[in-house]
């Protein structure tokens, strides 16, 4: 059988197994999900370095040290960030509008994993998928199949040990474009998480499924005249050399304010920067940039010294980044593209306004909506950049690489960064479990609806067809607790349920009287009334309790359990 046919068949088999697992997993409780994620996090932390070594050996991209840090970031930082998120049951309540939001999993997620950040991306996507009670099937980049499959195996085994159904995490072993297309388009696939090249992301968006894809980065870094020059240069070099620049949010250009240009140039040289002359830039451009204006895979993720050697450029042994002073952006300036290695284009501008325009030009040339940074102590200039730049992550006084993914900033920790409408993406967010949930909304009537009889004339119909809500519903403080309770009782009675009378169990005991009848519904205001009146609340296994009510009642030990079955 041809490899492409084998790949298609494997995709189908994995999806069938994944969907079978999901029909069980979607009913798991929050505690069950958390036990699974904790075990996955522990295993990923324990194997962070071995997986990093395997990734570097297989792909040739980046460094073991930094890939280990990325694995730990996903296994620990991402896990800790998503742990408190409510993704099971009632996740939000608006007692004033009487709307309750209920989390519902999306289903089977097809995840495309790149070769540049293979193991860390797999860890991250598995955690955010299972947090929402989804299952996930990986399609690995062909040049990173072994390390991604090993990551998948470790995560799947740890999840199953913690009680997950077999098949919640799986990975294709025979990746081919035909198999990946089948994975994305199959009827059992509910959503696509695509990280990879522009062509693959476009294929994901055209698969006929909801998809989260990301665009290229080409992030500029502007060093404004009030910046701490030493720290700014340190940050740019740290971001550009982290894993040899393979993260799409790493700095690709430096834009420098003219009054500090000399100081910045000296600081770059002091910290391992090498400024190329015209002949050297031409040699690097010919080797690094393809006719399609894409970086040469043979040089992606390599060190500055190795790139210089391959291009016939002699540099000091301690060189960390190569800098190319350019006069413009676009096809006539090949090194102005996203480079995915420690090569930076370098511009000098007369002031922040010109710097603002230069950054826009760079972003428009392959980085729209992604990321940029500004190094400045001038809050007004920083605000101007925040208001007007076509980037959805503007990192202030920190490396773009670390800041964009939430490693050095307060952004959601993530390895998938949306570029919004500017970049042709559905969202501008850092992708998290919130994006992998459907949310049901349980909405009670708060404004009675009036209607007209069919026999009434058109004039009366036009006057009454769109009744106005009572003023209190629009501008007042909300519905009083007593009125809300009566409305809920009326709602239940209209459907054949008789709302129980609230009784006051003896406050000194936590066991209900033998004939106490449990309440049907408890909200936060019920708990607060019980606290004020010094009484307990009788609940049963079918009582609906909102999350806020449960937290408050358990804190004050107000719940007692009915002794007789419903």
Annotated catalytic residues are 248
Q: Is the dihedral of CA 269, 322, 264, 267 positive or negative?
A: negative
Q: Which residue is associated with the tokens 């502007």? A: 222
For 144, the token pair is: 């990173």
Could you tell me the sign of the dihedral formed by the alpha carbons of 6, 9, 15, 21, in that order? negative
Torsional sign, CA 506, 549, 484, 538 = negative
- Would you give the end-to-end CA distance of the chain in angstroms? 60
DSSP letter at 527 equals H
φ and ψ of 278, to 5 deg = -60, -45
Query: Can you tell me whether residue 500 is helix, strand or coil?
Result: coil
**Contact partners, residue 69, CB within 8 Å, separation at least 6:** none
Torsion of CA 194, 200, 201, 202, to 10 degrees: -150
Nearest CA to 441 among 131, 93, 88?
A: 93
Integer angstrom CA distances of residue 438 from 25, 133, 326, 340: 15, 11, 47, 35
Beta strands, E only, 287-342 = 321-325
3-state SS assignment for residue 297: coil
Alpha carbon separation from 6 to 203, 247, 273, 286 (Å, rounded): 20, 32, 48, 38
| Nearest residue to 333 via CA among 284, 400, 272 | 284
What lies within 8 Å, CB to CB, of 173 at 6+ separation is 10, 145, 149
- Three-state SS annotation for 427-487: CCCECCHHHHEEEEEEECCCCCCCCCCCCCCHHHHHHHCCCCCCHHHHHCCCCCHHHHHHH
| Contact predicate 161/153, CB 8 Å | no
Cβ contact 56:64 at 8 Å: yes
Cβ–Cβ < 8 Å for 32, 96: no
Structural tokens at position 167: 């098949």
Q: Within a 10 A sphere around the Cβ of 357, how many other Cβ atoms?
A: 13
DSSP 390-410: SEEEEEESS-HHHHHTTSSSS
Whole-angstrom distance, CA of residue 390 vs CA of residue 450:
48
List of residues 6+ apart from 455 with CB closer than 8 A: none
CA geometry: angle at 484 spanning 483 and 487, to 5°? 85
């Amino acid at each position: 059988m041809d490899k492409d046919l084998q790949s298609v068949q494997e995709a189908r088999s994995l999806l069938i197994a994944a969907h079978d697992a999901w029909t069980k997993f979607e009913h798991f409780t929050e505690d069950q999900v958390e036990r699974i994620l904790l075990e996955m996090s522990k295993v990923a932390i324990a194997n962070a370095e071995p997986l990093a070594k395997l990734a570097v050996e297989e792909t040739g991209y980046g460094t073991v040290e930094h890939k280990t840090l990325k694995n730990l970031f996903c296994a620990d930082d991402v896990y800790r960030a998503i742990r408190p998120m409510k993704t099971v049951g009632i996740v939000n309540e608006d007692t004033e509008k009487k709307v309750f939001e209920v989390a519902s999993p999306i289903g089977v997620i097809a995840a495309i994993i790149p070769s540049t950040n293979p193991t860390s991306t797999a860890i991250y996507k598995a955690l955010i998928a299972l947090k929402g009670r989804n299952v996930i099937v990986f399609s690995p980049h062909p040049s990173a199949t072994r390390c991604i499959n090993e990551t998948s195996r470790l995560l799947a085994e740890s999840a199953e040990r913690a009680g997950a159904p077999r098949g919640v995490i799986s990975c294709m072993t025979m990746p081919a474009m035909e198999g990946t297309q089948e994975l994305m388009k199959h009827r059992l696939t509910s959503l696509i998480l695509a990280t990879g090249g522009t062509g693959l992301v476009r294929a994901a968006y055209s698969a006929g499924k909801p998809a989260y894809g990301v665009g290229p980065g080409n992030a500029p870094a502007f060093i404004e005249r009030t910046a701490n020059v030493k720290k700014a240069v340190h940050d740019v070099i740290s971001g550009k050399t982290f894993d040899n620049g393979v993260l799409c949010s790493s700095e690709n250009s430096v834009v420098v304010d003219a009054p500090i240009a000399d100081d910045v140039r000296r600081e770059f040289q002091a910290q391992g920067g090498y400024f190329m002359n015209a002949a050297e830039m031409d040699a690097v451009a010919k080797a690094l940039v393809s006719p399609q204006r894409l970086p040469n895979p043979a040089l992606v993720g390599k060190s500055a010294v190795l790139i210089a050697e391959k291009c016939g450029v002699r540099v000091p042994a301690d060189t960390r980044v190569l800098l190319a002073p350019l006069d413009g952006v676009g096809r006539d300036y090949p090194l102005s593209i996203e480079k995915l290695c420690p090569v930076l284009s370098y511009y000098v501008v007369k002031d922040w306004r010109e710097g603002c325009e230069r950054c826009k030009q760079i972003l428009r040339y392959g980085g729209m909506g992604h990321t940029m940074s500004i190094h400045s102590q001038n809050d007004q200039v920083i605000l101007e950049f925040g208001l007007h730049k076509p980037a959805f992550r503007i990192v202030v006084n920190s490396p773009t690489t670390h800041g964009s993914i939430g490693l050095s900033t307060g952004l959601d920790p993530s390895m998938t960064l949306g570029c919004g409408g500017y970049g042709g993406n559905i969202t501008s967010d850092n992708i998290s479990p919130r994006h992998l949930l459907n949310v049901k909304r349980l909405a009670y009537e708060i404004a009675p609806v009036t209607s007209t009889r069919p026999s009434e004339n058109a004039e009366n119909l036009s006057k009454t067809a769109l009744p106005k809500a009572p003023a209190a519903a629009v501008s007042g403080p909300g519905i009083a607790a007593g009125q809300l309770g009566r409305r809920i009782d009326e709602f239940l009675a209209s459907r054949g349920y008789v709302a129980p009378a609230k009784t006051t169990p003896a406050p000194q005991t936590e066991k209900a009287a033998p004939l106490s009848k449990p309440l049907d519904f408890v909200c936060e205001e019920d708990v607060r009334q019980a606290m004020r009146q010094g009484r307990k609340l009788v609940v049963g296994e079918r009582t609906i309790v909102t999350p806020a009510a449960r937290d408050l009642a358990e804190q004050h030990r107000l719940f007692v359990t009915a002794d007789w079955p419903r």
